[in-house]
Chains A and B, each alone.
Chain A
Amino acid sequence: MSETHPTTETNDIELRSAIDRSLRHPVMFFFTSGALWLAVAIVFGLIASAKKHAPQFLDTFSWFDAGKIDAAHMSALIYGWGCSAAFGIIIWLMSRLSRKECTSAGIILLAGHIWHIGVLIGIVCILDGRLSSGIGLMEFPNAVWIILLFAYVLITVWSLVQFQVRDAGHVYVSQWYLLAALLWFPWIMVTAYLFVFAFDGNPLMVAAIAAWFKNGLFLLFFLPTALASAYYLAPKVTGRPVYSYNLALFGFWSLAFLGPWAGMERLMGAPIPQFLPYVGAAAMVLILVPAIAVGVNILKTILGHDDVVAQSPSLRFTVSGIVLFMVFGVLSFGLHTVTVMKMTQFSYTGYGLDILAIYGVFSLCAFGAIYFIVPRITRREWLSRRFINWHFFLSVYGVASIVICAIVGGVIQGQGMEDLSQPFATMAERSDSYGWGITLAWGFMLIANFFFCVHLLLMWARLGRRSSHPTLFQRHHSENPHGPEGEIDNIGSATA
Chain B
Amino acid sequence: MLASFGLPWLFAVVLPFAKMRSLDPVEYEEGGEVSGVYTPKRDGRITEGSRIYGQEGCYQCHTQLIRPTYAGWDVHRDEWAGLRVSADNSEDTRRETLATDFQDEEIAHVGISRLGPDLSNFGRRIDFYLKKGEYTPEEWVLLHLYNPRGLANYLDDQRVPEKSTCPSKGGMFDEVPTYRAGDDALPLATPDGLAVVPNDRARALASYLLSLKKDTLRNPLPKALNFNPEAPQAE
Contact = CB atoms under 8 A, between A and B. Distances in A.
B13 A195 contact: yes
B63 A196 contact: no
Interface string A208-240: 111010000000000000000000000000000
Contacts of B163: 429
Nearest to B158: A423
B36 interface: no
A129 interface: yes
Contacts of B55: 68, 129-134
B179 interface: no
B60 A71 contact: yes
Interface in B8-52: 8-9, 12-13, 16-21, 23, 50-52
Contacts of A131: 55
A67 B60 CA distance: 6
Contacts, number: 223
A62 B169 contact: yes
Q: Which size bracket describes the interface of B in this complex? A: 35 or more
Contacts of B184: none
A55 B20 contact: no
B167 A55 contact: yes
B220 interface: no
Contact of A70 (B57, B111, B114, B158): B57
B78 interface: yes
Interface in A178-209: 180, 183-184, 187, 191, 195-196, 199-209
A111 B194 CA distance: 50
Given A195-B13, A345-B71, A205 B20 contact: yes
A272 B16 contact: yes
A148 B98 CA distance: 35
B45 to A, nearest CB: 15
B118 to A, nearest CB: 8
Interface in A278-335: 279-280
Contact of A129 (B56, B70, B159): B56
B170 interface: yes
A246 interface: no
A131 to B, nearest CB: 8
B1 A59 contact: no
B53 interface: yes
Contacts of B61: 52, 66-67
Q: Which size bracket describes the interface of A in this complex? A: 35 or more
A350 B201 contact: no
Contact of A207 (B5, B108, B115, B164): B108
A371 interface: no
Nearest to B114: A346
Contact of A62 (B70, B72, B171): B171
B214 to A, nearest CB: 11
A209 B116 CA distance: 24
Contact of B57 (A68, A266, A351): A68
A143 interface: no
B106 A203 contact: yes
A158 interface: no
A274 B113 CA distance: 21
Given A65-B57, A272-B16, A350 B112 contact: yes
Contact of B110 (A184, A270, A276, A413): A270
Contacts of A429: 161, 163
Most chain A Cβ neighbours within 10 Å, of B52, B96, B161, B164: B161
Interface of A: 51-53, 55, 59-60, 62-63, 65-71, 129-136, 139, 180, 183-184, 187, 191, 195-196, 199-210, 212, 253, 256-257, 260-261, 264, 266-273, 276, 279-280, 338, 341-343, 345-348, 350-351, 413, 417-418, 420, 423-425, 428-429, 431
8 contacts: A71-B60, A130-B201, A134-B54, A135-B107, A203-B105, A204-B102, A270-B108, A271-B97
Interface of B: 1, 4-5, 7-9, 12-13, 16-21, 23, 50-61, 63, 65, 67-68, 70-74, 76-78, 96-99, 101-103, 105-117, 148-149, 157-159, 161, 163-172, 201
